[in-house]
Chain A
Amino acid sequence: MSEKFEYFAIRNAAGMFDSSPLYKYRISGRDAEKYLAGVLARDVRRCRPGRAQYTLWCDDRGFVVEDGVVLRLSQDEFLLTSAEPNLAYFQNLIGYDLVEIEEVTDDVATLAFQGPRSRLILSELAPEMSEIGYFHLVPTKLGGSPVTISRTGFTGDLGYEIWVSSDDAVAVWDTVAEAGQGHGVIPFGQIALLMARIEAGLLLLNTDFESSRFAWNDDHRSTPIELGFGWMFRHIETENRPFIGRHAIRRELADATSRWKLVGLVVDWKEYDHKYNTAGLVPPKDHTPVTEEFMVYTDDYTRVGYATSFMYSPIVQRHIAIARVRPEQSAIGTRVNLEVTINHRYELVGAHVARLPHFNPERKTA
């Protein structure tokens, strides 16, 4: 089946995606909160039981190691996801805290159920989930299996993730698929997911940023502020929370030394079409995400950044990108140029800096 059709299930009905390969860590014990508050860049103390947080962890120089979502299952129990293995990294930071970190990647399966119909369909199975807010979670049952449902996801749409013991995973998948019958629910794959996440302005490790642990040099490292997460540190001056990277981040904020700012780019459709038409070609409008870098220039051909994700968005009806540009080029509406290849030649097409997410439906948080 076509990935674009799967994509439309996410945007117009609901789609199912097996997120189980995510790495998952159960962090528990009397000092779990204190430990995470010191390891994670975003203040986990503000995440009450029954809530979830998108978060990052940084190195001591203030560069991003990775990102993930932390679910606070109870006062002293957390579940943290990551795209790559992090067990040794986390364990090495325990120190004298009374905390236990257990990797549960294989024990906990994750079913992403994303799209405008997801709430309606799930609430027929588990009415108590119908009211949960954005980034809230609730323990419940689906078809007899105990699960935790969180209102989280990687699509930027109304959607949920269902956390379930691996033993019950297939049964829960079948229960949800069955309930979705007649609602246009289909499973979706990686490409549809990546389409949705680019529109949602959600970053992908090793595409939009790299782990500072494995980067070869600082050009391949990013700070949270450069990635657009400055809002995580609104309280940094008053919260008195030691965490890894705090000093560097404070300095970067105070001295305004960020090298980049992460922005959205929207390509000028008229110029794009015109350049292709002039070359005698049909302007391609391919939804498949391109992860190679596209250079960003000013009108006088000064290089001011690069796009890390690029696609034609069926819902924005434009070519869109996630890019990083120099801070002075980052104001919304700033005109820049994206270098593309047309007729085997490098060509510049106009684009403007746009607010992320590119697509942000009310239903996502409503």
Chain B
Amino acid sequence: MGTPTQRRYDAVVIGAGHNGLVNGAYLAKAGLKTLIIERRHLVGGAAITEELHPGFWFTTFSYALSLLRPDIIHELELTKHGFMPLLMPSTFAPMENGDYVLLGQDRNENIKEIARHSRHDADAFEQYEHDITMVCQALKPLLDQVPPNLFSKDPEELVAMSALAQHLRDLEPRVLHNAVRLLTGSAADFLDDYFESDILKGYLSSSSIIGTKVGPRSQGSGLVLLYHNIGEHDGVFGSWAFHKGGNGGFTKVLAKAAQAFGAEIILEAPVGNVITSNGKATGVALEDGTEIEAGVVVSAIDPRRTFLQLVDPRELPNDLVENIQRFRFQGTSAKVNFALDGLPKYPALGDRGDQYRGFTNIGPSIDYLERAYDDAKYGWYSSRPYIDAAIQSTIDPDMAPPGKHVMSCFIQYAPYHLKQSDWDTERNNLGDTVQKTLESFFPGFSDLVLHREVVTPLDIERVVGLSEGNIFAGEFLAPQMFFFRPAPGWNQYRTPIDGYYQCGSGTHPGGCVMGAPGKLASQQILKDLDPSRFGNPGLQSPPADA
């Protein structure tokens, strides 16, 4: 481990997060001698599973799967290597008055459950799901192709722009309008048009704030909401799955696939910098001084480190450096992971435990979420945080000993920049705040806690390397998406340094365990290397699906 078997490769990928692995796998599949270099002792980046308490396996950071592009599953033959997305059959949304919404796989039961709170909303829910699915279906193709360069006069780019315009023009006006309302507006406004009950609006708007420093009433939260619905699992938009063994189980599958295509992976090998010569990347230097030659160097890490740390910013155009410097990270999420002695009790459901087989959403109203955001606006973590909990051991018994459980809690808001304190001081207090909030919904919760792991935005930055702990490697805000991710004119995975590419979540289409940046970057790289062989990859008809 830690030492490459050769001095020279066709391509070197920096970072074995999911995008680095996807990218490396595609490059290797195309026949490039590929090396993937990881700083830590395990692959996965933020998508890892660790035994942090004996017998208890934690998805320390990223914890569920939805946005992974289906073509990657097939093209990288992931099922051969153990790809196994387990169904999460329910969603549980407790309320502050002790009631709840529990949705499952039975449509009629779901209608009845929502009607318990509002008959109006039971119908509206169907309309909402349909409308948002239409938008997802319309925008989905944009996730699966290299975005056009808005600023280029290249005929190929002009054609791509006109194809994009044509695609949008072909949409039904209602679908296009809904898309624009979601991409630019607030989730609260969008949801208000459909629903009257607080709990439904709270539950649905929860996905409008994930990983981003917005409240559900902030303009821009609609885009985050849309992103969390455009993922699909087994053909159902907005459906999430839990990979066998957690997201670490998933990235292990990716690593096996990459290796099966011939990629080499080295661990515990931090990269110092990219070596350049006359404006061209020629390899990388590891921190221990080892130099590895490669004609293609791909950074799978975030834009700040891709442009400002791995290379000398003085080699880059000034406007790019400026854009990267003001690219907003401001991580605002934390994780608190628990090892539990048993399942939490929700009084209204007695001894039942099946409600925990999916996400448990502690975000009972838009007001609750917006108040949680208020704390963050002024530089502090929420006193009653939003919690997205998943007791994954209810679906995958291998995550904890029989009868015991692991509970992953995604927490918001926990802003990276704290006023008047720091995260090393506040780590435990955040854990207490979360535990107290859970205790208020699940009396007796604290008695079940065998072990607690608090992961602050600072920990995310230190351990995973994501700047300011932003889980998407840069916020999901309109000025940082599509044409502009990570910077105007540099949205096509290339960089101003010849042979140096970017493929992390800081590029289009962005974060979540999507894999699309890794894949699309590989297409761009292969096309640049040999346009005759790899040109227009999106238009190639597939060979027999073997």
Contact = CB atoms under 8 A, between A and B. Distances in A.
Contact of A333 (B84, B237, B394, B544): B544
Contact of B545 (A117, A270, A284, A287): A270
A5 B234 CA distance: 13
Contacts of A282: 133, 137, 235, 237
Interface stretch (A49-57, A61-69, A177-185, A239-247): A177-185
B55 to A, nearest CB: 12
A285 B235 contact: yes
Contacts, number: 95
Given A12-B244, A352-B544, A269 B74 contact: yes
B352 to A, nearest CB: 12
A312 B105 CA distance: 17
A180 to B, nearest CB: 9
Contacts of A316: 79
A221 interface: no
Interface string A323-365: 0000000000101000000000000001110000000000000
A110 to B, nearest CB: 25
Contacts of B89: 1-2, 4-5
B71 interface: yes
Interface residues of A, number: 39
B544 A182 contact: no
Given A182-B397, A284-B235, A317 B403 contact: no
B204 to A, nearest CB: 20
A271 B543 CA distance: 10
Nearest to B88: A5
B402 A181 contact: yes
A8 interface: yes
B180 to A, nearest CB: 20
Interface string B391-403: 0001111000111
Interface residues of B, number: 36
Contacts of B78: 317
Interface in A243-302: 266-271, 273, 277, 280, 282-287
A12 B545 contact: no
A139 interface: no
B317 interface: no
B403 A350 contact: no
Given A13-B397, A270-B545, A317-B73, A283 B235 contact: yes
B85 interface: yes
B545 A269 contact: yes
A183 B397 contact: yes
Nearest to B402: A182
A271 B541 CA distance: 9
Interface in B499-546: 542, 544-546
B319 interface: no
Contacts of B244: 12
Contacts of A268: 542, 544-545
Interface string B78-109: 11000111110100000000000000111000
Contacts of B234: 285, 287, 312, 314, 317
11 contacts: A2-B87, A8-B86, A12-B84, A12-B395, A315-B84, A316-B79, A317-B70, A317-B78, A333-B546, A350-B544, A352-B545
Given A317-B70, A350-B545, 12 more contacts: A1-B104, A4-B89, A12-B84, A13-B397, A181-B402, A182-B404, A184-B395, A282-B237, A286-B235, A312-B234, A314-B234, A317-B73
Interface of B: 70-71, 73-74, 78-79, 83-87, 89, 104-106, 133, 137, 234-237, 244, 354, 357, 394-397, 401-404, 542, 544-546
